[in-house]
Homo-oligomer: A and B are copies of this chain.
Amino acid sequence: MAMTIRHPDFALGTVWLAGAGPGDPALLTLAALHAIATADVILHDALVSPEILALAPAATRLIPAGKRAHGEHTPQLAINAQLIALASAQHRVLRLKGGDPFVFGRGGEECLALAAAGIVFRVIPGISAGIGATTAACLPITHRGIARSVVFATGESGPDGAEVDFAGLARAADTLVLYMARAKFEAIAASLIEAGREPAEPVAFLLDATTPREEIIRTTLAEAPRIARTLRPAATLIVIGPVVGIGAMFATETAFPVPDTVSAQG
């Protein structure tokens, strides 16, 4: 039959790292849904939406293991150890992360730990928020003639305290998509303007994108730091560039600015 997809066997004692996408369950991949349906244990981070966790069978053990800026979090080494322990106990272990496991998701570190422990693993890509949240909001991050490059960067410092070269990116990249950048956004915006970006350049804050809690706030680069301070706690993506103006045009034109979710309809 045309619509049959065959999935690989989720073997006992193995770990699958899967991306859950930006939030809407309809934006899960077929592979991720299969993994959710088949796993014995799901270790999920805080960015996996409750609508997606609700898809797990009742018998599946759900373990929160992740972090949010300024919130509770499980240290990465503890997560690595837990993955290894669960797999060694012959469970089918799903490590479920918001977005894609390798885009600011520390999936690479988990894979290194699993490989070192001799645990067989598999990685399933997901739609990272930088693409899923923006496209669902009709915000074309590489609109032709306006943007030929887009950079995804994090506002958090590296383990060595190193920061992203925002001034350099301001000069070289057409569209900037920032993850986890609310806390340092005032300094980031200042360095972008100092490096030559227009204070009037449009900026969008995408909060809890593609979920029933979604909010999109449009402003300018000059105003954005003030707005950022007023936002409620939420998974937040910040998009900077002329393409944000295109997105604003669509928002008034289409009846479907955002994919429907289970909760929005059910």
Contacts and interface: CB of A to CB of B under 8 A. Distances in A.
A132 B125 contact: yes
A202 interface: no
Interface in A91-125: 100-109, 111-112, 115, 120-125
Contacts of A138: 111, 123
Q: Which of A101, A124, A265 has the most CB of B within 10 A?
A: A124
A34 interface: yes
Q: How many copies does the complex hold?
A: 2
Interface string A17-35: 0010110111111110110
Interface in A166-186: 167-169, 171-173
A142 B154 contact: yes
A102 B154 contact: no
Contacts of A143: 102, 108-109
Contacts of A140: 102, 107-108, 111
A115 to B, nearest CB: 4
A36 to B, nearest CB: 8
Contacts of A165: 149, 171-172
A5 B29 CA distance: 12
A123 B159 CA distance: 37
A153 interface: yes
A181 to B, nearest CB: 11
A145 B171 contact: no
A123 B144 CA distance: 17
Given A6-B262, A120-B256, A169-B173, A134 B102 contact: yes
Nearest to A118: B253
